[in-house]
Structure 1
């Protein structure tokens, strides 16, 4: 089992939205590195949910990968802001989809909300993508990084 961190803007799709709509496609990612990480997710992997672009960016809850990455339907929808005509061309040419979306199932909120500033101040996380590549919307976490976050939250990352 691997651990991941995914970011979402709570006014667009919050942890509570995931709880209500679970399981839900984690769609709309339009960064190639983040997309590649979505492709690597495996069933049962634990996902930490981070609220970003808000008053208090923080890791707020847990989800689990419940379905492997599928073609992201928002990339094929001309009415969606994430529409990408290359996705349609790839699918029409029987190529793998350019953009993908795994299905995540809600687990629970963390016992303690962890502000990103608090995580960035931890020396154990200094080399983490969370600190070095803070803008990346999907990233793997090492076992030690996941353990540090769980410890700070007074929680366990087990489903």
Structure 2
């Protein structure tokens, strides 16, 4: 379950599905993750390396993890930022989860109580520990 050439770090990336959802990314084949204007989330984008994996999370509508993406290009300047201060990465879909894992399931699971998704609920790009990653994958298979 190691992830390519990346650092072995895992992430969670939120997107509003009515703006850019899983199906949009799959249709494109590769998407630019931009528009992040929170310093901590931007620092997480800067820390990503090619081959790292992330959960694709539908925020607002659905509030669930729906798939896995891989970082295909890292260290980019956000093309939507005219001042060139904000970070971006490119991502490619890896696979859709067998079953989405909802925010309610995550909040109700003691093994996931420390997730940034819960503790820093407004953070759009967060860190996921290996233990959290493996646990969520197991939950998505049941």
**TM-score of the aligned structures, taking structure 1 as reference length:** 0.82
Picking from 87, 92, 100, the partner of 1:100 is 87
Structure 1 consecutive aligned stretches of length 4 or more whose deviation exceeds 3 Å: none
In the TM superposition, residue 128 of structure 1 has moved relative to its aligned partner by: 1.4
The structure whose Rg is larger is 1
Work out whether 1:7 is the aligned partner of 2:25: no
- Distance in 2, matches of 1:123 and 1:146, equals 14
Give ranges in structure 1 of 5+ residues lacking alignment.
77-86, 88-96
SS, match of residue 12 in structure 1:
helix
- Distance in 1, matches of 2:134 and 2:94, equals 17
Give ranges in structure 2 of 5+ residues lacking alignment.
1-7
**TM-score of the aligned structures, taking structure 2 as reference length:** 0.91
Asked if structure 2 preserves the Cα contact closer than 8 Å seen for 1:7 and 1:50, the reply is yes
In the TM superposition, residue 154 of structure 1 has moved relative to its aligned partner by: 1.2
Higher strand share: 2
- Distance in 2, matches of 1:123 and 1:133, equals 17
Picking from 63, 67, 70, the partner of 1:61 is 67
RMSD over aligned CA atoms reads 1.1
Task: Provide Cα deviations, 1:27-58, integer angstroms capped at 9, x if missing partner.
Answer: 1111000000000001101110000011x210
